[in-house]
Chain A
Amino acid sequence: MTNPQSAPVLKVVDLSLRYLTRGGAVKAVQDVSFELAEGQALGLVGESGCGKTSVANCLMRLLPDNAQLVAGQVLIDGQDILSLTEDKIREYRWQQIAMVFQAAMNALDPVYKVGQQVVEAIEAHGVEATVSLARERVARLFRMVGLDPALMDRYPHEFSGGMRQRAVIAMALACDPRVIIADEPTTALDVIVQDRILRELKGIQQQLHMAVIYISHDIAVIAEVTDRIGVMYAGRLVEYGATEDVFRAPLHPYTAALMGSFPSIAGEKRVLANLSGEPPNLIDPPPGCPFHPRCIHATEVCRQEIPPRVQRGSQWADCWHPLEESAVPESVEAGEV
Chain B
Amino acid sequence: MTGYLVRRAGQMVLTLFLIITVAFFLVQAQPGDYASFYALNPDLPPDVREQIRASFGLDKPLWEQYLIHLKNTVTGNFGVSFGHFPRPVMDVLIERVPRTAVLFLTATVFSFYIGFFLGKAIAWRRGGVLEYTATISGATLFTVFTPAFALMMIWIFSFRLGWLPVGKFLDPLVWRHADVTANHVFGQMLLTAFLFTVFAFLVLWALRKTGRVALARWAGPLIAVGAVVVLLLWSISSVGGLALDILKHMVLPIVTLTLISFAGTMLLTRNSMLETVREDYVMAARAKGLPEKQVRDRHAARNALLPVVTSLVYSLIFAIDGSVIIEVVFSWPGTGLTLLQAVRTEDLPLVMGAMVFIGLFSLLAHVIVDILYVYLDPRIRYQ
Q: Which residue numbers of A lie inside 8 Å of B, CB to CB? A: 60, 62, 86, 90-95, 98-99, 101-103, 106-111, 120-121, 123-125, 130-132, 155, 157, 171, 174
Contacts and interface: CB of A to CB of B under 8 A. Distances in A.
24 contacts: A60-B287, A62-B287, A93-B287, A93-B289, A94-B289, A98-B287, A98-B288, A99-B284, A101-B283, A102-B280, A106-B280, A106-B281, A108-B281, A108-B284, A109-B281, A109-B299, A109-B303, A120-B298, A121-B290, A124-B288, A124-B289, A125-B289, A131-B212, A174-B288
Interface in B332-383: 376-379
Looking at B281, B298, B303, the one whose CB has the most chain A CB atoms below 10 A away is B281
Interface of B: 211-213, 279-281, 283-292, 294, 298-299, 302-303, 376-379
Contacts of B213: 123
Given A123-B213, A124-B294, A130-B211, A106 B279 contact: yes
A155 B290 CA distance: 20
Main secondary structure of the interface of B (DSSP, over half): helix
B97 to A, nearest CB: 35
Nearest to A93: B289
Question: Which 10 residue pairs spanning A and B have beta carbons closest together?
Answer: A106-B280, A93-B289, A109-B281, A121-B288, A131-B211, A155-B378, A107-B284, A94-B289, A90-B289, A107-B280
A146 B303 CA distance: 29
A157 B379 contact: yes
A216 to B, nearest CB: 18
Contacts of B279: 106
Contacts of B294: 124
Nearest to A106: B280
B378 A111 contact: yes
B284 A101 contact: yes
A137 to B, nearest CB: 14
A303 B275 CA distance: 43
A94 B287 contact: yes
A106 B280 CA distance: 5
Contact of B288 (A94, A106, A130): A94
A62 B290 CA distance: 13
A111 B302 contact: yes
A110 to B, nearest CB: 6
